[in-house]
Amino acid sequence: MSSRRNFIQKTAMGLAGSAVLPLLGKSAAAVAPEASAALPITVGIAGFTFAKFDVDQSIAMMKRIGVTNLSVKDIHLPLNSSDEKINAVIGKLRGAGINVYTVGVIYMRTKEAVDQAFQYARKVGVNMIVGVPSYDVLDYAEAQVKAYDIRLAIHNHGPEDKLYPGPKDVYDRIKDRDPRVGLCIDIGHAMRAGSPPEKAIRDFKDRLFDLHIKDVSQAVKEGKAIEIGRGVIDFPAVIKSLRKIKFNGVCSIEFEKDMTDPLPGIAESIGFFKGVARGGE
């Protein structure tokens, strides 16, 4: 099993590193799963994890932890970047074997911000945006989803979030919209908002596009970011739910503790999440 896994990982790395991908296309590159007899669980990194680091430092950390899928955050590629800047940053990431599979979290409070987000996503070459559209631009955002054929995964941000505290607050506002409008469930913020992620994953499976994976110290507003496995989230149950709904997207770890020295915590978190997935096979 392990030899096969290594082969597949190396092959996928080779492809990601050498493929000439259209920088202005609509499709994201295929993701490289953890191969196994059970449903593969694909891990990635949410770019906010590297908020205190530049692109080169982020690449170095991703290589160290052996993760290739990245959700690019505007900290590393501003929304108003020129085409040249976008091609340079995305080209550098792809050249390092990194698969940029989405962008976000992008906040959209005006129609102009919605336009900017979709133009940016098209130029980056992803088929999904992780975003937070204000209620009054939801109709407009849905229209852009159709016009660009780019999915919109709306992100929940916990009890402090006036728009989307938990996944249900997203789902209730999008369930009758175009099927390309869905959820990025942030499982840590969901937990703090009283929504156990293993249940939310099943409840909103038809619209679940992306995940921000993290752990929190307590299942209340005051819960703090903590290494995955040390907190209150039931990760075996999360993995079981993901396999039950046959989730085929990316589980992006977003580590928000020790942000100026995050590598040990990122590594422990990635290790634990992959270990739970392997142990539950």
Check binding of 80 to a copy of itself (CB under 8 A): no
Report DSSP state, residue 156. Answer: P
Q: Which is nearer to a copy of itself, 122 or 240 (CB)?
A: 240
Which member of 14, 91, 95, 279 binds a copy of itself (CB under 8 A)? Answer: 279
Quote the CA–CA distance of 156 and 150 in Å, as a whole number.
19
CB 227 to a copy of itself: min, Å? 7
Residue 270 sits in the site that holds a copy of itself (CB under 8 A):
yes
Which DSSP helix (H) or strand (E) runs through 57?
helix 55-65
Among the listed ranges 21-29, 92-100, 138-146, 263-271, the one in contact with a copy of itself (CB under 8 A) is: 263-271
Pseudo-torsion of CA 243, 247, 250, 252, nearest 10°?
A: -60
Nearer to a copy of itself, 245 or 267 (CB): 267
Which residues, 6+ apart, have CB-to-CB distance to 275 below 8 Å? none
Which residues ranging from 192 to 231 are in contact with a copy of itself (CB under 8 A)? 227-231
Q: Does 88 bind a copy of itself (CB under 8 A)?
A: no
For the bound state, the minimum distance from the C-beta of residue 37 to a copy of itself, rounded and expressed in Å, comes to: 11
Q: How many residues bind a copy of itself (CB under 8 A)?
A: 37
Strands 208-213 and 215-216: unpaired
Does position 255 interact with a copy of itself (CB under 8 A)? The reply is no
Given 28, 29, 43, 65, the residue binding a copy of itself (CB under 8 A): 65
What DSSP string describes 71-117?
Answer: EE-TTTS-TT--HHHHHHHHHHHHHTT-EEEEEEEEEE-SHHHHHHH
CA neighbours closer than 13 Å in the CB half-sphere of residue 263: 11
Candidate segments 2-10, 25-33, 88-96, 172-180, binder of a copy of itself by CB under 8 A: 2-10
The residue assigned the tokens 């085929």 is 248
Closest distance to a copy of itself from the beta carbon of 3 (Å): 7
Stretch that binds a copy of itself, among 126-134, 195-203, 241-249, 258-266 (CB under 8 A): 258-266
Q: Which of residues 230-249 bind a copy of itself (CB under 8 A)?
A: 230-236, 239
In the chain, what is the straight-line distance between the N-terminal and C-terminal CA atoms, in Å? 12
66 binds a copy of itself (CB under 8 A): yes
Furthest-apart CA pair in the chain: how many Å? Answer: 52
With CA atoms as reference, report the closest residue to 207 among 235, 185, 234.
Answer: 185
* Euclidean distance between CA atoms 24 and 235, whole angstroms: 37
273 is an interface residue for a copy of itself by CB under 8 A: yes
In the structure encoding, which two tokens stand for residue 196, read together? 């156990």
Q: Is 115 in the site for a copy of itself (CB under 8 A)?
A: no
CA distance 253 to 109: 26
Q: Is 119 or 217 the residue whose CB approaches a copy of itself more closely? A: 217
Nearer to a copy of itself, 106 or 270 (CB): 270
Residues at the contact surface with a copy of itself, assessed by CB under 8 A = 1-3, 6, 64-66, 227-236, 239, 263-281
